[in-house]
Structure 1
């Protein structure tokens, strides 16, 4: 697996052979095309659906997407899918990776943050929220070393994905919500890098992911099974 045998890094060109059913990649592609109708159909969103409970982030209110541009709905669902992935990853790592010390403290803290992001995004999207996929993280959560390498990759990619979508957001509510989540993800990335004895802030400027890089990154996880 990519995360087990390579040094911790975000290699967006060598990860195209994973994501067995393309669920997350399809979500990213639909967000880029700003086609809500196709996005909802292919994501299998049921009519209706319960509104999730949970604390809200600034700019997010229940049912706010009713008057939101279609492209912003797709972007919000893309963000939700990434948050589903990260929440599940940290939960699995806490259960299986044998984490200790600062690694365990980070995983507990970040898992709580990602779960709060999921709850807030689901509450905002209401019945338009995509369903949570099923995940299998395999050997990526079977040791502390594997967890560390994978967490660095996921957090770096998540930061750049949020950054890359910012220019496409039209509504102030969604934009403010994204801005409230993005710096928290950046802090996660810096924290896990520091634990791994890597430079937590290696450059003065952070590049965003292009459309093709976002698609490559989400295809490369290999963790989504249905």
Structure 2
């Protein structure tokens, strides 16, 4: 069941609304639109583009304005992840019923993340990029859906860990952590479905292969998945992230 987070309870000192103002969003509008509905979390997704590899998020000077950049980075990634699952669900050609269920559930989660970020950022929200339909068709084919989902979910978990320390606003950190654990569950789930839980499975394929995960920077995340070609590079508004 979806949960509702009360922004006023999370944002006792007004940091979230000040961050919104720094991005040109009226405080009252942000409070009304950004009730933090849906899954109750900030989604830091997984897709990227080579043209965005000149990372603009500051890792040394946390600020409320930088927080807004991080949220728009998150929204850009969530748009693409949600689009991947939406396309797969509409095509409905999965190798197994279990993968079909995975895609339906995870697709709903990612769509909830998109709605949350759009409402919270209001007019400052980045626009959804255009998809390369040929590349998407290849990614959602029965033989490639599972491995593609695994790569995206693993990268998403690392992206959460990479951007969490750069957030200044406490409420954003709390929200990011709550979605980070959900993305980790996605990654473990798809690994199980791909055979990672079977006796004798390679360590790297197991649902929880390591004691510690390494975070990935914005630039690394974008390089890892930039080669997918799933979106049209020119459709990304690089001024907001």
TM norm structure 2: 0.65
Q: CA deviation at 1:219?
A: 1.9
Distance 2:100 2:226 in 1: 27
Q: CA deviation at 1:90?
A: 0.5
Q: Does 2:156 align with 1:173? A: no
**Which residue number corresponds to residue 85 of structure 1?**
80
Q: CA deviation at 1:218?
A: 4.2
For structure 1, the 5+ residue unaligned runs are: 1-35, 41-47, 61-67
- Of 207, 213, 219 in structure 1, the residue corresponding to residue 220 of structure 2 is 213
Structure of higher CA gyration radius: 2
| Number of residues of Structure 1 aligned to a counterpart in Structure 2 | 173
- C-alpha offsets along residues 128-158 of structure 1, whole Å, 9 cap, x if unaligned? 1101112131311122x20001000110111
**Which residue number corresponds to residue 141 of structure 2?**
142
Distance 1:140 1:129 in 2: 27
Distance 1:160 1:213 in 2: 10
Distance 2:156 2:70 in 1: 13
Q: Note closer, same or farther for the CA distance 1:58–1:111 as it changes in structure 2 (3 Å cut).
A: closer
Larger mean CA deviation between 90-99 and 168-177 belongs to 90-99
**Which residue number corresponds to residue 156 of structure 2?**
158
Q: CA deviation at 1:97?
A: 5.3
Q: Does 2:117 align with 1:121? A: yes
Q: Is the 8 A contact 2:164 2:173 kept in 1?
A: yes
Q: Note closer, same or farther for the CA distance 1:108–1:74 as it changes in structure 2 (3 Å cut).
A: same
Q: CA deviation at 1:52?
A: 8.3
- C-alpha offsets along residues 24-45 of structure 1, whole Å, 9 cap, x if unaligned? xxxxxxxxxxxx9xxx9xxxxx
**Which residue number corresponds to residue 183 of structure 2?**
185
**Which residue number corresponds to residue 210 of structure 2?**
203
Larger mean CA deviation between 206-215 and 109-118 belongs to 206-215
Q: Note closer, same or farther for the CA distance 1:74–1:193 as it changes in structure 2 (3 Å cut).
A: same
SS of the equivalent of 1:133 reads: coil
Distance 1:205 1:192 in 2: 19
- C-alpha offsets along residues 41-94 of structure 1, whole Å, 9 cap, x if unaligned? xxxxxxx9xx5895261689xxxxxxx711000000111111111110001111
Q: Note closer, same or farther for the CA distance 1:197–1:56 as it changes in structure 2 (3 Å cut).
A: closer
Larger mean CA deviation between 68-77 and 161-170 belongs to 68-77
Q: CA deviation at 1:213?
A: 1.2
**Which residue number corresponds to residue 75 of structure 1?**
70
Distance 1:85 1:221 in 2: 11
For structure 2, the 5+ residue unaligned runs are: 1-18, 24-28, 44-62, 197-205, 236-241
